[in-house]
Chain A
Amino acid sequence: MTAFALLLAAAAIGYAAAHLLRVPAIPLLLILGMAASALVALPEGFLEDVLMLGVMVVVFVAGIELNPDRVGRYLGTALRVGVLQFFVLGAAGLWAAHLLGFSLQTAAYLGLALSASSTLVVIRLLQQRRELYTPMGRMVTGILLLQDLLVILLIPVVTLLDEGALAVGIGVGSTLALMLLAAGLLRWVTPRVLPRVADDEERLLLLVLAVLFVFLGIAHLLNVPLIGGAFLAGVALSPFPVNALVRGQLNSLGGFFSALFFTTLGAILTIPTPGEVVQAAILLGLVIVLTPPLVALVAERNGFSARGGVGAGLILSQTSEFSLVVGIQGMLLGQISDSAFSVIVLVTVASMMLTPILATTPVTGLLIRLHPWSGTRREEEPPEGHILVVGCGASGLALLETLVGTPHEIWVIDDDPAVVEQIDEAGFRVIRGDATDRSVLREAGAPHARMVVSTVRFPKDSGPLLELANGVPVLVRAFDESDAAWIEERGGVAVSYSEAASDELLRWFREEFDAPGGETESSSR
Chain B
Amino acid sequence: MVVKLLDQKGELDSVYGRIAVGIFLVQDLVVVVALTFLAGLGRGEEMATAEVLTNLGIAFGGMALLLVVAGVAAKWVLPAALGRVASSQETLLIVSLAWCFAFVLGAEVMELSLEIGAFLAGLALAQLPYNHDLRRRVHPLMNFFIAVFFVSLGAQMEFGAIGEIWFPAILLSLFVLLGNPFIFMLIIARMGYGERTSFLTSVTVAQISEFSFIFAAMGLATGLIGEEILSLVGVVGLITIATSAFMILYNHPLYERVSALGILRIFRAREGPSPMSEEVRREGHVVVVGMNSLGRSIVRGLHEQGEEVLAVDTDPSKLRGLPSATLLGNVEYRAVLEEADLASARLLVSALHIEEANRLLAYRCREMGVPCSINVFDPGSVGDLMRLGVDHLIEAQRIGVDRIVEELSERGVFAP
Interfacial residues, chain A to chain B (CB-CB below 8 A):
1-2, 4-5, 8-9, 11-13, 15-16, 18-20, 25, 72, 127, 130, 132-135, 138, 200-202, 205-206, 209, 240-241, 243-245, 247-253, 255-256, 259, 387, 394-395, 398-399, 402-403, 405-408, 450-451, 453, 455, 473, 475, 477, 479-481, 493, 495-506, 508-510, 512-513, 520, 523-525
Contact = CB atoms under 8 A, between A and B. Distances in A.
Contacts of B386: 525
A363 B347 CA distance: 43
B298 interface: yes
Given A252-B138, A498-B292, A11 B378 contact: no
Interface in B40-69: none
Interface string B54-89: 000000000000000000000000000000110111
B400 A495 contact: yes
Contact of B140 (A133, A205, A509): A205
Nearest to A74: B380
Given A405-B414, A497-B396, 7 more contacts: A205-B144, A244-B356, A253-B144, A256-B94, A259-B90, A453-B408, A477-B400
A247 B88 contact: no
Chain A: interface secondary structure? helix
B380 A133 contact: yes
B90 A501 contact: no
A248 B101 contact: no
B94 A15 contact: yes
Nearest to A251: B332
A1 B114 contact: yes
Nearest to A134: B378
B360 interface: yes
B349 interface: yes
A252 B379 contact: no
- List 6 tightest A-B contacts by C-beta distance, closest first: A248-B332, A12-B98, A497-B400, A480-B293, A502-B297, A498-B294
B252 interface: no
A16 B379 CA distance: 35
Given A15-B88, A501-B394, A130 B297 contact: no
Contact of A506 (B301, B332, B334, B378): B301
B137 interface: yes
Given A202-B4, A241-B363, A248-B332, A408 B93 contact: no
Contact of A524 (B141, B391, B411): B391
Contacts of B298: 502, 505-506
Contacts of A501: 294, 375, 394-396, 399-400
A58 B238 CA distance: 34
B225 interface: no
Tell me which of A25, A398, A408, A455 has the highest count of chain B C-beta atoms within 10 A of its own C-beta: A398
B302 A506 contact: yes
B275 interface: no
B138 A505 contact: no
Nearest to A402: B405
Given A132-B356, A256-B93, A523 B101 contact: no
Contacts of B407: 475, 493, 495
Contacts of B398: 398
Interface string B84-119: 110111110111011101101100100000100000
B346 A513 contact: yes
A287 to B, nearest CB: 27
Given A20-B85, A244-B356, A394-B379, A15 B346 contact: no
A252 B96 CA distance: 12
A481 B294 CA distance: 10
A6 B148 CA distance: 22
30 contacts: A2-B108, A8-B94, A9-B102, A16-B84, A16-B91, A20-B85, A127-B356, A133-B380, A240-B363, A249-B139, A249-B143, A252-B93, A253-B141, A253-B144, A256-B94, A256-B97, A387-B408, A473-B411, A475-B407, A475-B408, A480-B293, A495-B403, A496-B293, A501-B294, A502-B301, A504-B399, A505-B298, A505-B301, A505-B394, A523-B392
Contacts of B301: 502-503, 505-506
A250 B93 CA distance: 13
Given A206-B147, A252-B139, A502-B301, A247 B332 contact: yes
Interface string B365-408: 00000010101011111001010001111111111111111011
A242 to B, nearest CB: 11
Contact of A248 (B330, B346, B413, B415): B330
Interface string B331-370: 0111100000000001101000111110110010000000
A481 B292 CA distance: 10
Interface of B: 4, 8, 84-85, 87-91, 93-95, 97-99, 101-102, 104-105, 108, 114, 136-141, 143-144, 147, 286, 292-294, 297-298, 301-302, 305, 330, 332-335, 346-347, 349, 353-357, 359-360, 363, 371, 373, 375, 377-381, 384, 386, 390-405, 407-408, 411, 413-416
Contacts of B137: 251-252
B143 A206 contact: yes
Contacts of B377: 130, 133
B306 to A, nearest CB: 11
B294 A502 contact: yes
Contacts of B413: 387, 406, 408, 450-451
Contact of A5 (B85, B105, B394, B408): B105
Contact of B97 (A8, A406, A450): A8
Given A202-B143, A500-B396, A523 B391 contact: yes
Contacts of B378: 133-134
Contacts of A15: 85, 88, 90-91, 94-95
Contacts of A251: 89-90, 137, 140, 332
A465 to B, nearest CB: 15
A498 B297 contact: yes
Contact of A8 (B98, B294, B414): B98
Contact of A500 (B105, B371, B373, B400): B400
Contact of B380 (A11, A138, A241, A245): A138
B307 to A, nearest CB: 8
A398 B354 contact: no
B404 A134 contact: no
A499 B93 CA distance: 34
Contacts of B390: 523
A403 B386 CA distance: 29
A250 B91 contact: no
B142 to A, nearest CB: 9
B98 A11 contact: yes
A138 B139 CA distance: 31
A498 B396 contact: yes
Nearest to B366: A241
Given A244-B332, A505-B298, A132 B305 contact: no
B409 to A, nearest CB: 10
Contacts of B302: 506, 509
A209 B140 CA distance: 11
Contacts of B330: 248
Contacts of A512: 371, 391-392
Tell me which of A259, A493, A496, A497 has the highest count of chain B C-beta atoms within 10 A of its own C-beta: A497
A245 B249 CA distance: 25
B363 A481 contact: no
A197 to B, nearest CB: 13
Nearest to A65: B356
B4 to A, nearest CB: 7
